[in-house]
Chains A and B, each alone.
Chain A
Amino acid sequence: MSQERRIGDVILKVDNVSLAFGGVKALTNITFDVCEGEVRSIIGPNGAGKSSMLNCINGFYKPTEGIITFKGESHSQMETHQAASQGIARTFQNIALFKGMTTLDNVMTGRNLKMRKNFLWQSLYYGPAMREELEHREAAERVIDFLEIESIRKTVVGRLPYGLQKRVELARALAAEPDMLLLDEPMAGMNYEEKEDMCRYILDVNDEFGTTIVLIEHDMSVVMDISDRVVVLDYGQKIADGDPDEVRANQRVIDAYLGVQHD
């Protein structure tokens, strides 16, 4: 990675966020930040609260306490589609694609927010709306090219193998031209080659578009290779935060992953 990557100011600030479902505390007083243009990973053992954290950031869950600031705008309560319109796109742990639709249609839904003509115009499928549709079609095709999924453009995604579905999901997220991309275990269940490809795409996205990436991943070698900074969660609490080498050397992280011997 010889190219100089620009890491800018803080784009996302998570401040003292707690989340509880009834008596179960999923997250307790989590604080960390994400800088513009960096690859930031959230790791931790199963049930540590990683996905809950992501869900808070894009508004699926409303934090019980604490404030999340994105691009200078603070909110504790936010609707998911508002998060999307502010420039947060995401993929899911258990792929959430529109299975009955083609790859192209799936990617086009990612352009939904970029459509400026209101729905009455769009319903007419005529004149300005038609021109706009074509414009977005071009943008969608660019993303499809970028992720090398041209050959499955017209395939219904429900028929695709798992690894490709993951890539289509990434394409749909990218089509929205997000400022920040949340990836929930993008490499889970993939073989070695697919993982390598996915890593390359993630780094390419980060390089070419300067997209900030927040990543949840289990594969430690992957995380350590591609992340700029890493947050470690365990039982809903933050136990470490820093660059990969620091985190790797942290005793609490080693304990959390390998288990501690009690006397």
Chain B
Amino acid sequence: MEVLNTFFIAPVLDMADSPIFLLEVIIGGLMAGVMYSLVALGFVLIYKASGVFNYAQGAMVLFAALTLVGLLDNHVPLILAIILTMIVMVGVAFLIERYMLRHLVNQAQIILFMATIGLNFVFEGAGQIAWGSNVKKLDVGIPENSFEVGGVLINSFDLFAAVTAAVLVGVLAIFFQKTSVGRALRAVADDHQAALSVGIPLKTIWIIVWSVSGFVALVAGIMWGGKAGVQFSLVLIALKALPVLILGGFESVPGAIIGGLLIGVFEKVSEVYWGPAFGGAIEGWFAYMAALVFLMFRPQGLFGEKIIERV
């Protein structure tokens, strides 16, 4: 009876007690979710175009953020610094194609995955050699004050992040579904050999997709870095993207967004209302639990492409 009360009745009563607070928790969750989505997006892009789970995505976020901060510290104007960082990320994409992917055409997925683990360490090391390992403050002039809408407190930084993510997703969705480059990307993801035979230049496609993914890493780096400071632990947010991907499906851009939002809300709501029942701090593992349970029912994710296998 007591168990029933702590796990099922008390949390619901708490929610009903103060709807405004519940709404605030949910909005807080959504905002945090947007940040997860940003990281998950980078994964989805590379997965869609090469079938590779890019373990180094978190390190790319750190690397992009470090480069940007490093440039800003050297008194490069903001816009120029962003452009320069983007050029660096394109250069990196070029190097990855030249020295890693080119040699691994037609290899099994697990081999490419292993290669990205190596890449992860290269990014971590290179970023710190170039810019040092201190925690740095990143201020790109996004306002951080809060304001009230109908009694609910909203942080304008979070709002800015949400709008940015929404725009990014809109652009990427059109890019993938409507343009011929997007079609070529999907073709490469589906079958390397067939893509080559219709004359899709694999190398160019890979450079494009890693550049786009580098761009997403830069945006995520600006947002996360602005919120939490640019530091080594940015690499770990990549792990936060995992449950998001499982929920949303590895090859779906909208899935990454919805998945991120869901995980964000789950986390916050469970922490606030069920946290006490578990003795607190369930935010850290709850997302993974949710993803595991979800995996049992829908292995391809919410928006993943249906697994079609003719036998």
Which of the 9-residue segments B189-197, B228-236, B275-283 touches chain A? B189-197
CA distance A144 to B166 in the complex (A): 37
Say yes or no for A8: interface residue by CB 8 A criterion: no
1/0 per residue B245-257: CB within 8 Å of A? 0000000000000
Chain B residues near A158 (CB, 8 Å)? 308, 310
Task: Name B193's contact: one of A60, A99, A159 (CB within 8 Å).
Answer: A60
Say yes or no for A98: interface residue by CB 8 A criterion: yes
1/0 per residue B164-205: CB within 8 Å of A? 000000000011001111111011001101111111111010
Chain A residues near B197 (CB, 8 Å)? 58, 60, 80, 84, 89-90, 92, 96
> Judging by beta carbons under 8 Å apart, are B198 and A110 in contact?
yes
**Binding site secondary structure of chain A:** helix
> Judging by beta carbons under 8 Å apart, are B191 and A122 in contact?
no
> Judging by beta carbons under 8 Å apart, are A98 and B196 in contact?
no
CA distance A90 to B193 in the complex (A): 11
Select from chain B the residue with minimum beta-carbon distance to A126: B179
> Judging by beta carbons under 8 Å apart, are A115 and B190 in contact?
no
Please provide the chain A residues from 160 to 197 with a CB less than 8 Å away from any CB of chain B in the complex: 162, 172-173, 176
1/0 per residue B68-85: CB within 8 Å of A? 000000000000000000
Chain B residues near A250 (CB, 8 Å)? none
Say yes or no for A21: interface residue by CB 8 A criterion: no
Task: Name B180's contact: one of A96, A98, A100, A112 (CB within 8 Å).
Answer: A112
Select from chain A the residue with minimum beta-carbon distance to B309: A158
Task: Name A98's contact: one of B175, B181, B186 (CB within 8 Å).
Answer: B186
Please provide the chain A residues from 107 to 130 with a CB less than 8 Å away from any CB of chain B in the complex: 108-113, 115, 119, 122-125, 129
Task: Name B181's contact: one of A60, A123, A172 (CB within 8 Å).
Answer: A123
Please provide the chain B residues from 63 to 119 with a CB less than 8 Å away from any CB of chain A in the complex: none
> Judging by beta carbons under 8 Å apart, are A99 and B198 in contact?
no
CA distance A115 to B197 in the complex (A): 16
What's the nearest-Cβ distance from chain B to residue A169, in Å? 8
1/0 per residue A45-83: CB within 8 Å of B? 000000000000010100000000000000000001100
What's the nearest-Cβ distance from chain B to residue A102, in Å? 10
Contact status of A101 and B187, CB under 8 A, knowing A58-B197, A109-B200: yes
Say yes or no for B305: interface residue by CB 8 A criterion: yes
> Judging by beta carbons under 8 Å apart, are A129 and B179 in contact?
yes
Q: Which residues of B contact A (CB under 8 A)?
A: 174-175, 178-184, 186-187, 190-191, 193-202, 204, 208, 305, 308, 310
Q: List 21 interface pairs A-B (beta carbons < 8 Å), by A numbering.
A: A81-B200, A84-B196, A84-B199, A85-B199, A97-B190, A97-B191, A98-B194, A99-B191, A108-B180, A109-B184, A109-B200, A112-B183, A112-B187, A112-B198, A112-B199, A113-B198, A122-B179, A124-B179, A156-B308, A162-B310, A176-B199
